[in-house]
Amino acid sequence: MSRTVLRLAGMLWLLAVPFFAADAQAQACRDAVVLVHGNSGSASDFNATYNALLAAGYSPGQILRPSWGNKLCPACNDHNGSEETPVIDAMVEALARSCTGRIDVIGHSMGATLAAHQIRKYGLKDQVDTFIGIAGAFRGLHSCGTYPFNVPTTTCGYWGLSIASPLLDSLWGHRFARRVYSFKSWADQIVCYLGVCTVGGVHSSQIPVEDGSYTFTYGHFGLLEYTAALQVSLIQ
């Protein structure tokens, strides 16, 4: 092969490199993800999901896991005030990092309703591509009673998870993303009180306006840990 041909081949390769790099960058462009743990939980509750996201090609910087609430007093936590700040801050930060201009949000237990409240309160619906509520109590907890005759704890009060609380009523009928899914179980030890999982004939973990609901046989925490692969597939 002549030197001229080799030089031309080299020049063509150099010209092609930026296009290959741009294509690789485009393929890596995806929504940043916010993972919101439940009441008295921690970021590590989402370890299975976090690792599944990394395996799917996400970078650590594309995944935010805010820590919220009083870990020593779960009954002191609700959906208003200091509990909100870490979650909305994480969503704002995720939007700043996201090359798509959108984010995906996955919440477990009370973290699901807390995340939904932030999306609703700050008008972020159009910037959230997918919302997944895992073992949430969107229709309330029988263990909290019915508002205003609820169990006298902050978690079950006005801004809490009593059935028909003003907080839950404010979420009713609203979408939190372009696509909304719920994960539920009839063996959920928290959402199902004395074996009763439904409110008004519908499982409490189902989101009033959703695109799909997935049912598993796991308990409250297994719903989060053992569904990581499905969570990741739904936000692709």
Looking at the chain, the whole-number percentage of residues with pLDDT higher than 90 is: 88
pLDDT at 121: 98
What integer is the mean pLDDT of 62-75?
98
Q: What is the structure's pLDDT at 122?
A: 98
The torsion region of residue 98 among left (phi > 0), alpha (psi -120 to 50) and beta comes to beta
Confidence of residue 229 (pLDDT cuts 50, 70, 90): very high
- pLDDT 10s digits, 188-202: 999 999 999 999 999
Report the C-alpha gap between 134 and 86 in whole angstroms. 19
User: Is the peptide bond between 148 and the residue preceding it cis, with omega within 30 degrees of 0?
Assistant: yes
Task: Please tell me the predicted confidence (pLDDT) of residue 17.
Answer: 41
For the cut 60, the answer to whether the pLDDT of residue 228 exceeds it is yes
DSSP string for residues in the chain: --HHHHHHHHHHHHHHHHHHHHHHHHHH---EEEEE--TT--GGGGHHHHHHHHHTT--GGGEE----S-SS-GGG--SSSTTHHHHHHHHHHHHHH-TTS-EEEEEETHHHHHHHHHHHHTT-GGGEEEEEEES--TT-EEEEEETTEE-SSGGGSTTTTEET-HHHHHHTT---SSEEEEEEETT-TTTSBTTB-EETTEETTS-SS-SEEEEES--TTHHHHTTHHHHHHHT-
**Banded model confidence at residue 26, pLDDT cuts 50, 70, 90:** very low
What are 104's strand-pairing partners? 33, 130
Q: Considering only the C-alpha atoms of the chain, give the largest distance between any 2 of them, rounded to a whole number of Å.
A: 89
Mean pLDDT of all residues in 110-131: 98
Class of CATH domain 31-234: alpha beta
Q: Binning pLDDT at 50, 70 and 90, where does residue 28 land?
A: confident
Query: Considering the chain, what is the average pLDDT of its residues?
Result: 91
Look up residue 131 and give its DSSP letter.
E
pLDDT at 11: 41
Determine the Cα angle at 115 with ends 100 and 69, to 5°: 130
pLDDT at residue 6 in the model? 40
Average pLDDT for residues 122-143, to the nearest whole number? 98
In whole angstroms, give the CA distance from residue 223 to residue 85.
Answer: 26
Contact 148, 182 (CB under 8 A): no
Q: From the centroid of its chain, how far is CA 183?
A: 11
Confidence check: pLDDT of 23 > 80 = no
In angstroms, what CA-CA distances link 150 with 32, 139, 161? Answer: 37, 14, 9
Q: Which residues are paired to 184 by β-bridges? A: 215
Q: What is the pLDDT of residues 138-161, one digit of tens each?
A: 999 999 999 999 999 999 999 999
Residue ranges of domains in the chain: 1-30, 31-234
**Chain segment 32-46, per-residue pLDDT in tens:** 999 999 999 999 999
